A and B are shown apart, each in its own frame.
Chain A
Amino acid sequence: MKSSLLRILALIQKEFLAVLKDPRSRFIIFLPPILQCLIFGYAASFDLNSVPYAVFDQDHSAASTEFLSHLDGSGIFRRQADLGRPEDIATWIDSGRALIVVQIGQDFERHLLAGEPAEVQVIADGRNSNTSGTASGYLESVVEDFNAHWRADHGEAGPAIRIVTRSWYNPNLNTRWSMIPSLIGTLTMMGTLMLTAMSVAREREQGTFDQLLVTPFRPSEIMAGKTVPNMAIGLTQSTTVLLIAQFWFHIPFAGSFFILYSGLGLFLMAAVGLGLLVSSISATMQQAMLYAFLLVMPFALLSGLTTPFNSMPKFLQSVMVINPLRYALDITKRVYLEDAGFTQLLLPDFLALAVIGLVTLSGAAWVFRRRLT
C-alpha cells in the first residue's frame, strides 16, 4: 500500500514536470483561460450599447423633430446621417453603416395632431437578425416613451399599468453576472479535457508510455498518476477564473467555497475521465486533440452557456444527461450567485457528476488494462 502510494507520488511528480517544465507550456495552460475569461466577459453580450441609425425624414415638422430628439436622447441610438432620397436607404443599410433606418412619412405631424395613428417605418439590417431584433425592441420602447409624453402633453392620458420587475441574485440583470460564473466550469473543461487527452497521447507517440508499461506500475497507479496532476491543474484554472470574476469584474461571491470546490472536484474528475477515455482511443496527439475537440464542442454549445437549455429540443436535452458541463454550470452559477447549499436542488448535480466521473475513469482504466495484457 505504502509503496503503491510512493509510486503514484513519483508519477504525479513526473507528470507535473512534463507539463510545467517548459515555460511556453506553463504559459499556454494559463493564458487561454485568462484571455477567454476577459473576452467572454466583455464581448459575450446580446445587449447593444450603441445603434448607428440614419433618418429619412420626409415631414420636417416640429413633431418629427421632437420624435427624433427622443431617439437621440436615448443614449443608444446614434444618428449617422439625414438621408435626402429614398435610394439612400439601401446604400446605408447595404454598406452596414446604419443598423436601422427610420423613415418618417410626410403626413406624420398631420396624423398626430388629428389623433390618428402616425406611422414610422423602421428598416433594419437583418444580416444578423438577432442584433437587429434587439435594436428594433429598443426602438419600440423609445416610441412608447414618446407616446406617453405626447399623450400627457395633449391631455389624453388614460389609466396605465406599470410593470415593476424585481430580479433576484442579479439586481441589474447584468449579462456578465450570469456569463462569468459559468466560465469557471466551461474554460476549465476545455483546458483539462484536452490537456489530459494529449498528455497520454504524447507519451504514446513518443514511446514513453510503453516504457511506463514495463515498469512495476499497475494500470490503476498509472491512471492515478495521470488523474491527480490534471485535476490539480484544472483546479488552478478554475481558481484563476474565479479570481478574475471577483477581483476584475467585481461580481460578488454569495456562496460557500467549500460547496463550490467540492462540486468542481467532482466535475474535474469527470472531465479528466473523459480526457482519459478520449486518449485511450487515440493513437496520436492529432487524434487526441481532434477527438477531444469534437467532444468539447457539443458539450459547451449545448450546456446552456450561450442559449437557454430548456429551449433545446427535448431529444437533445435527454442526450445531454451525459454532459458534465451542464451540471457544473448549474453548480457554479447557483453557488456563486444564489448561495445554494447542499439541498435537494444541488444534490442531483453532484450525484450526476460523481456517476460520470466514476464511469469514465473506470472505463478508461478498463481500456488501458486490456491494452496491457
Chain B
Amino acid sequence: MKDWTAKLRRIRALTVKETRQVLRDPSSIAIGIVFPLMMILLFGYGMSLDVSRVSVAVVDEDASADSAALVGAFQLSPNFVVTMARSMDEANTIFMSRKVDGVLRIPSDFSRRWHLGEAEVQILVNGTDANQARIMQGYAQGPVAEWSATQAGPVASAAAGPVIVVNRMWFNENNNSQYFLVPGLIVLVMTIIGAFLTAMVVAREWERGTLEALFVTPMRAGEFLISKLLPYFALGMIGFVLCLLAGQFLFHVPLRGSLFLLCLASMIYLLVALGIGLLVSTLVKSQFLASQLAMTLTFLPAMMLSGFLYDLRSMPAFIRGITYVLPARYAVALMQTLYLAGNVGSVVWLNLGVLTAMAVALLVLTRLVTRKQLS
C-alpha cells in the first residue's frame, strides 16, 4: 500500500515538472494551439482543390456563324475567362507569357466539317501543371456539349445520350471538400503534437544529462514514461478539441457516428503517436535525429500515405503494402467513417483494434527499452 502512494507521488512530481516545462516553453504552446488553428485555417480556407476559373485564349479561324456561337458558349461558361486572339501566333505569345492557361483553336474548316458530320476543335494546355491541364480539358467538354445540343435540333435528344447517369454521392451530397479534410486534419494535428514534441523531450534529457540524474532516484521506467505521456496527452487533446469545434461550428461537418467513439479513437491514436515519439527519442538520444526521424516516420506518412489527400487505391502495390504498417492509415479511415458514415461496425472495430494493438505494442516496447537503458 505504501509502495503505491510513493509510486503515485513520484509520478505526480515528475508530471508537475514536465507540465511546468511545457507551460513555460512558448514553442509547446505554439504547437499545441497555434498549429491546430493554422492547419484549420489553411485547409479550410487556404487550399482549394478546385480550379475555379480557367483563362483561355480563343482563336476563331473559321469566323462562321457556327464558330461564333461556339465561342459564345465558352464566354458564357462560368468556368472560362475568354480572351480573343486574332491568330495562332498571337495566341501562342499570350500562352507563353502565362497570361492564359490554355488556347482553344477553332480550325478554318470547322463549320464545313460539322455539317459533314464530324468537326474538330483543338485545345492547347500547359502540361507543367498536369492537374490543372486535365481539369481544363474536362471543363472544355461543357460548352462544347452545350453548343452541339443547341445546334443539332432534332438530333439533340440523341446527343443527350441513350444512357444518362444519375450521380449520388453518399455521406457528402454537396461534394464539400471540407467534409473529408476535417477528419484528416484531426489525424494530422494529433500526429504532430504527439510525435514531434515527445520525440524531442526524452532526447533532450539524454543530451543534457538530466536523465542520468534520475537514474539515482528510486524512479522506475514506467513511472518516468507516464509522467512524460500525461502533459503531452493533454496538449494533444486540446488540439483535438480545437479541430472538433472547428469542424462543428466553422465548417459544419456532420458528425454521424458517436462522439464517444470519436473521442476514444482520437485518444488511442494520440497514444500511438506519443508512443512513436517516445520510442524514437529513447532510441536515438539526439534531438536533431529524433526530430528528423519523427518527421519522416509520422508526419509525412500521415499527410501522404494515409488516404487523407491521396487515395490509397491508386498507389503502386508496394507503397500500398507499406501503408498497412502506418497507424495514420487506420486513423484516417476511422475518422472519416465516424464523421461521415456513422458507426459502421466492420470499419470501426477493425481499425480501432489495430490502433489499440499498435498503441499497446509501442508503449510496452518503449518501457522495455527505457528500462534497459536505465539499468
Residues of A within 8 A of B (CB): 22, 24-25, 28, 31-32, 35-36, 39-40, 42-52, 67, 93-96, 99, 112, 115, 117-133, 136-137, 139-140, 143-144, 146-147, 150-151, 156-175, 177-179, 194, 198, 202, 205-206, 282, 284-287, 289-291, 293-294, 297-298, 301-302, 306-308, 310-313, 316, 333-334, 337-338, 345
Please give the distance in Å from B348's CB to the nearest CB on chain A: 10
B296 at the interface (CB under 8 A from A): yes
A-B contact pairs, 19 of them (CB 8 A): A28-B289, A35-B296, A95-B344, A95-B346, A115-B162, A117-B161, A122-B165, A126-B170, A126-B340, A127-B171, A160-B117, A161-B148, A166-B125, A167-B127, A175-B131, A285-B291, A286-B27, A287-B25, A307-B47
On whether the beta carbons of B130 and A173 are closer than 8 Å, the reply is: yes
- In the complex, B126 has a CB within 8 A of chain A: yes
B180 to chain A, nearest CB (A): 5
Kindly state the separation between the CA atoms of A293 and B291 in the bound complex, as whole angstroms. Answer: 10
Query: Are B319 and A312 neighbours in the complex by a CB distance under 8 Å?
Result: no
Binds A, one of B4-12, B31-39, B223-231: B31-39
> In the complex where A32-B296, A291-B30 touch, is A165 in contact with B307 (Cβ < 8 A)?
no
Whether A147 lies near B313 (C-beta < 8 A) is no
The 7 closest A-B pairs by CB, nearest first: A170-B127, A126-B172, A158-B155, A126-B169, A167-B127, A287-B27, A126-B171
Q: Which of A99, A128, A293 has the most CB of B within 10 A?
A: A128
Report the Cα distance A95→B300, complex, angstroms: 26
The interface stretch among B135-143, B213-221, B258-266, B366-374 is B135-143
Rounded to whole angstroms, the CA-CA distance of A341 and B232 in the bound complex is 51
How far apart sit A284 and B205, CA to CA, in the bound complex (Å)?
A: 13
A155 CA / B163 CA spacing, docked (Å): 16
Q: How many residues of B contact A (CB 8 A)?
A: 112
Are A301 and B42 in contact, with the CB atoms below 8 A? yes
A139 CA to B158 CA, complexed, in Å = 19
Bound CA span A338–B98, Å: 12
- CB of B118 within 8 A of CB of A39, answer no
> Considering residues B45, B291, B293, B342, which has the most beta carbons from chain A within 10 angstroms of its beta carbon?
B291
> Which residues of chain B come closer than 8 Å to A337, judged between CB atoms?
127-128
- A175 near B130 with CB under 8 A, answer yes
> Quick check: is B159 within 8 A (CB to CB) of the other chain?
yes
| Contact indicator B34/A158 (Cβ below 8 Å) | no
The segment from B48-56, B243-251, B267-275 found at the interface with A is B48-56
A286 and B204: CB pair below 8 A? yes
Docked-complex contact B165 and A143, CB < 8 angstroms: yes
Q: In whole angstroms, what is the CA distance A91 to B315 when docked?
A: 25
Q: Does B65 contact A (CB under 8 A)?
A: no
A337 to chain B, nearest CB (A): 5
Q: Which B residue sits closest to A97, measured CB to CB?
A: B346
By a CB distance below 8 angstroms, the chain A residues around B163 are: 67, 112, 117-120, 143, 146-147, 150
Chain A residues with Cβ below 8 Å from B190 are: none
Report how far A127 CA is from B342 CA in the complex, Å: 11
B169 touches A124 (CB 8 A): yes
What CA separation (Å) do A240 and B289 show in the bound complex?
20
B364 at the interface (CB under 8 A from A): no
Q: B304 near A: Cβ within 8 Å? A: yes
Candidate in B39, B130, B344, B346 with the most chain A CB atoms within 10 angstroms: B130
Chain A CB count within 10 A is highest, among B119, B122, B177, B314, for: B314
A293's closest neighbor in chain B, by CB? Answer: B196
Complex Cα distance, B207 from A22, in Å, reads 15
Q: How far is the CB of A121 from chain B (nearest CB, A)?
A: 5
Select one of B141, B288, B336 contacting A202, CB under 8 A.
Answer: B288
Tell me which residues across on chain A come within 8 A of B340, comparing CB atoms.
126-127
Q: Is B27 in contact with A291, judged by CB distance below 8 angstroms?
A: yes
Contact B127 A168 (CB under 8 A): yes
Partner of A120, one of B34, B164, B197, B286: B164
Q: Check B120 against A39 for contact (C-beta < 8 Å).
A: no
Complex: chain B residue closest to A104, CB-CB: B163
Residues of chain B within 8 A (CB-CB) of A28 are 288-289, 292-293
Residue from A94, A156, A290 with most neighbouring chain B CB atoms (10 Å): A290
Min CB distance A334 to B, Å, is 7
Contact of A94 with B347 in the complex, beta carbons under 8 Å? yes
B169 — which chain A residues lie within 8 A by C-beta? Answer: 123-124, 126, 129, 132-133, 136
Residue of B309, B319, B346 touching A42 (CB-CB under 8 A): B319
Q: Interface code B171-189, partner A: CB below 8 Å = 1, 0 otherwise?
A: 1110111011000000000
**In the complex where A45-B310, A48-B313, A161-B120 touch, is A129 in contact with B175 (Cβ < 8 A)?**
yes
319-348 of chain B: CB within 8 A of chain A: 319, 333, 336-337, 340-342, 344, 346-347
Closest chain A CB from B174 CB (angstroms):
9
One digit per residue, 1 when the CB lies within 8 angstroms of any chain A CB and 0 when it does not, for chain B 275-297 equals 00000000010111101110110
Given contacts A67-B163, A118-B164, contact A285 B200 (CB under 8 A): yes
- A40: nearest chain-B partner, CB-CB: B304
In the complex, chain B residues whose CB is within 8 Å of the CB of A165: 122-125, 137
Which residues does chain A contribute within 8 Å of B309, judged by CB atoms? Answer: 44, 306
- Nearest A-chain residue to B318, judged by Cβ: A42
Chain B residue at minimal CB-CB distance from A170? B127
Q: Is B23 an interface residue (CB 8 A)?
A: no
> What residues on A are CB-neighbors of B204 within 8 Å?
284-286
